[in-house]
Chains A and B, each alone.
Chain A
């Protein structure tokens, strides 16, 4: 008999001992720092949530070790390995000789060294002690989990199931970003939030606060304090290599092993989470079991080679059905097949390369997960079943159907509208009863009135039922990414409370992963206009001008237009503009139609420095590039003019001060003329005010662009304050309802001026609009130039690298 010493009794070691003792010929001594033998660590989460007991997850009990003649030294840390003498020393200090040694020390949880991480009540999630600690917290207490990965979410769900008030703090933008893409992460988050678990993504922790040496709260970088009685860090694991390193074994991130699991010492093997094989480290159980099998073969002199296989992930949270396998990053030569069913909360995505599935992510319906995993592992050529691949194994071999014929063939009890539970029969009855267009069917049956994704089906039913009497509506979808119109998208963002781009893509069934240059700027605007507090503006979803806060010119240079409130300026502002024109070699300086000055031909990399110079003189962005408030053109009014009836200049300045910085569906230009001679040309602006002796005539819907339009009267009021209220409420109504890139006059033509007048005449609604605008301005009324002129932001305007000076090799 030869002596085999195994350090660590985790799952890999447990499996190794089974294989080795089956082969025989070894005296086995097993050390474990935890005071127990092998248990199924993966099942700690069901223990935490109460679905299982500890006894149920023990895989190797005392009887097993006794029967296989294993000497157990549990609760004992190995003090050192002497490779020259081939001995291991435990806490008793007596060297124990070995012929072969297996290191299976596993991994240590990574603790973020935040201030306060050593407070009582700050734990990791690794072993039974941690689990018991969470189980003992008790209902009504508060816990914070740092880390929205697999383990962190299982900890959160488990504690939540025991009545604990749990908040998950995650650094990245979506949950489980290593296993899931953004869309699946969104659905998972929605499920957890729906259960009552708070989830904060894109959140950085700054400090753990304590009282009397015990954790009291977690402080986030944004200043939020999250009170808690227990703080669980589940941010990752690191191979436990210190014992191997001290023994002089070759280590990288983990203990280096070859294909036979042998370390740099031929008598020492290593398996499990502590190793590094071919640059890879391991955290899932399947490869660990393979390693145990290979190591056992090596010990018994058999040939075996460890090959890392594709591994699939499943989250063990009851009711959260998700699956992820393989590689789902986008890349060269890769294609996506995406399937979404918003009503059922289903999302499936396959990543293809060379007609083979290389990755799969699914949420909500994972029944076909193992079939797809098989296709990935076997690298099956899927060219023949590509059309129906996403529908799984049950749908292979069928032929494509004509959609009309398919709808006609549906039985009367086939469900058409999943949101409202409306069947084909009910819709057909309604059509035969006189509902001859989509709106009528929607009003009568509610079909397609919620998420709207069955709109096409309902229209096909109209066509099938009415025959030639039905004209398919010509409403144009936003773009090729969706069949919904702008109006549909706006309505659904409001009614379904969609507050992120990921929510829109998923719930409205977008066919592309993240939209295109047509829909993304529109959706970005709709979200920020409807949810100014909840939604975070995305610069990458804006056209270059709004991202650069300058107008791009045909040669790639930019134009810079500082704001001149109501067209009023002074000598020092003009001096600063002249200095900037000199300093940055501005080729063209032009006076604009909006009563301000345009500096044309500025290089992109000079923008931040130029803004900083202009900012020092008190100048801010004029938003001459924005779908937003542009200018308020004024005449000099009662200040100087002998005909002026009101302070048109002052009112123009006050309007501009109120409205600047707001984003709108298209540009918004205002004019205020001090008398009906209309020197400010107010009657061809989106909003025009003509002052008269008795007050203010406010008109809307003018334009002098591709179309020439005169304003139509909105209201006449006696005071400037009333006029301002109506104008601001009008702008907000436009922001809330118009299609992206519709000027005010186009929008008014669609909804009718009467509707606009009636809505604004309602004082309750007008007040609501004013409040909503004020809320939005509290967030968006900032000078973007000042924001971007700082050092960190300014660096982003320069090239990433300049290789023109690098020496050629």
Chain B
């Protein structure tokens, strides 16, 4: 797997997220309280809420529109809600965030 640099870890606030535009749609890249980074689809399957604007707690995010909660590791909706967001491989090297280049290679949606 090769990797694409999308920015510095410091560019995402602790317990926060930023949006990344790609050919497969907008992604949300999260930074947890423990400096772990996750990347998922930015779109909540419920009413298309922007997940990068949600509150990040532990390794979860809450959608800002109607409080659906997603596990960032699996992408699964938690609690009574049913749904899933796509997750993408992401890693941090020397303070830079790298994302799997599949987000480049797939045909434009």
**A residues engaging B (CB < 8 A)?**
181-182, 328-333, 512-517, 520-521, 539-544, 547-548, 552, 554-556, 604, 796, 799-804, 806-809
Is B62 touching A516 in the complex (CB atoms < 8 A)?
A: yes
Asked if A803 and B4 make an inter-chain contact with CB atoms under 8 angstroms apart, the answer reads: yes
Q: Are B67 and A803 in contact (CB under 8 A)?
A: no
Known: A513-B33, A516-B55, A544-B64. 10 other contacts (CB 8 A): A329-B34, A552-B50, A554-B47, A800-B12, A800-B19, A800-B20, A800-B29, A801-B21, A802-B20, A804-B23
7 residue pairs bridging A and B, Cβ less than 8 Å apart: A182-B33, A329-B34, A331-B34, A332-B38, A516-B55, A552-B50, A808-B104
Q: Given the known inter-chain contacts A330-B36, A331-B36, please indicate yes or no for A556 contacting B20, CB distance below 8 A.
A: no
Q: What separation, in Å, do the CA atoms of A540 and B94 have in the docked complex?
A: 24
Interface contacts (Cβ under 8 Å), in number, total 117
Q: Which residues of A contact B38 (CB under 8 A)?
A: 332
Q: Interface 1/0s, chain B 33-72, versus A by CB < 8 A?
A: 1111010000000011110011111111010110101000
Collect the chain A residues with CB atoms within 8 Å of residue B83's CB. none
Residues of A within 8 A of B13 (CB): 539-540, 796
Closest 3 CB pairs of A and B: A517-B62, A800-B18, A544-B64
Report the minimum CB–CB distance from B45 to chain A (whole Å): 14
Tell me which of B29, B104, B108 has the highest count of chain A C-beta atoms within 10 A of its own C-beta. Answer: B104
Partner of A332, one of B33, B34, B73: B73
In the assembly, what is the distance between CA of A556 and CA of B36, in Å?
26
Contacts of B64 in A (CB 8 A): 543-544, 552
Q: What is the CA–CA distance of A514 and B6 in the complex, to the nearest angstrom? A: 27
Contact A540 B55 (CB under 8 A): yes
Please determine whether B69 and A514 come into contact, CB atoms closer than 8 angstroms: no
Shortest CB distance B67–A (Å):
6
CA–CA, A556 and B2, complex, Å: 32
Does A552 contact B105, Cβ atoms closer than 8 Å? no
Contact of B19 among A181, A330, A517, A799 (CB under 8 A): A799
- Known contacts: A181-B34, A329-B34. The answer to whether A802 contacts B21 by CB under 8 A is yes
- Judging by beta carbons under 8 Å apart, are A329 and B36 in contact? yes
Q: Does A517 lie within 8 Å of B7, measured CB to CB?
A: no
- Chain B residues near A796 (CB-CB < 8 A): 11, 13, 18
B54 contact set on A, CB distance < 8 A: 517, 544
Do residues A517 and B55 form an inter-chain contact, with CB atoms below 8 A?
yes
In the complex the two chains form, is B55's CB within 8 Å of A803's CB?
A: no
Bound-state CA distance A329–B36 (Å) is 7
Residues from chain A with Cβ under 8 Å of B22 in the complex: 803-804
What separation, in Å, do the CA atoms of A531 and B18 have in the docked complex? Answer: 30
Interface size class of B (residues with CB under 8 A): 35 or more
- CB atoms of B21 and A799 under 8 A apart: yes
Q: Which residues of B contact A331 (CB under 8 A)?
A: 34, 36
Q: B14: which A residues are within 8 A, CB to CB?
A: 540
Instruction: Name the A residues within 8 Å of B16 (CB-CB).
Output: 539-540
Task: Let me know if A517 and B67 touch, CB within 8 A.
Answer: yes
Complex Cα distance, B67 from A543, in Å, reads 10
Q: Which residues of A contact B69 (CB under 8 A)?
A: 516-517
Contact yes or no, B103 A803, CB < 8 A = yes
CB distance from B65 to the nearest CB of A (A): 7
Residue of A nearest to B106 (CB): A808
CB of B12 to closest CB in A, whole Å: 7
- Determine how close the nearest CB of chain A comes to the CB of B73; give it in whole angstroms: 5
Known: A543-B55, A544-B64, A554-B65. A801 touches B6 (CB 8 A): yes
| Assembly CA distance A555 to B108 (angstroms) | 22
Instruction: Knowing A548-B53, A554-B47, say if A800 contacts B6 (CB, 8 Å).
Output: yes
| Chain B residues whose CB sits within 8 angstroms of the CB of A330 once the complex forms | 32-34, 36, 58-59
List, in ascending order, chain B residues with CB within 8 A of A808's CB: 104-105
Q: Considering the chains assembled together, what is the distance between the CA atoms of A95 and B104 in angstroms?
A: 60
Q: When chains A and B are docked, how far (Å) is the Cα of A799 from the Cα of B60?
A: 21
User: Chain A contacts of B57 at CB under 8 A?
Assistant: 512, 514-517, 520
* A residues near B67, Cβ cutoff 8 Å: 517
Q: Report if A801-B20 is in contact (Cβ < 8 Å); known contacts: A330-B59, A540-B15, A544-B64.
A: yes
Report Cα–Cα, A358/B50, bound state, in Å. 34
Q: Please state if B23 and A803 are interface contacts (CB–CB under 8 Å).
A: yes
In the complex, the answer to whether B21 meets A803 with C-beta atoms within 8 Å is yes
Q: In the complex, which residues of chain B have a beta carbon less than 8 angstroms from the beta carbon of A548?
A: 53
Out of B20, B47, B108, which one reaches A799, CB within 8 Å? Answer: B20
Bound-state CA distance A556–B6 (Å) is: 23
| Alpha-carbon distance A322/B101, docked complex (angstroms) | 42
Instruction: Report chain A residues within 8 Å CB of B55.
Output: 516-517, 520-521, 540-543
CB distance from B105 to the nearest CB of A (A): 5
CB-CB < 8 A to B32: which residues of A? 330
Known: A329-B35, A517-B69. A806 touches B4 (CB 8 A): yes
CB distance from A552 to the nearest CB of B (A): 6
Q: Which B residues lie within 8 Å of A181 (CB)?
A: 34
CA–CA, A334 and B88, complex, Å:
17
Contact of A803 among B6, B33, B53, B56 (CB under 8 A): B6
Which residues of chain B come closer than 8 Å to A517, judged between CB atoms?
54-55, 57, 62, 67, 69
Q: Which residue of B lies closest to A555 (CB)?
A: B48
Tell me the bound Cα distance from A331 to B47 in angstroms: 28
Given contacts A540-B13, A544-B64, A803-B21, contact A809 B2 (CB under 8 A): yes
Beta-carbon nearest neighbor of A547 in chain B: B53
Please name all residues of chain A whose beta carbon is closer than 8 Å to the beta carbon of B53 when the two chains form the complex. Answer: 544, 547-548, 552, 556, 604
- Nearest-CB residue, chain A, relative to B105: A808
Residues of B within 8 A of A520 (CB): 55, 57
A215 to B27, CA, bound (A): 51
**Cα(A803)–Cα(B88), bound, Å:** 14
Query: B101 — nearest CB in chain A belongs to which residue?
Result: A809
Chain B residues in 8 Å Cβ range of A332: 36, 38, 73
Minimal beta-carbon separation of B16 from chain A (angstroms) = 5
Chain B: minimal CB distance from A347 (Å): 15
A265-B67 Cα distance, complex, nearest whole Å? 62
Most chain B beta-carbon contacts within 10 A, residue among A515, A521, A540, A802 = A540
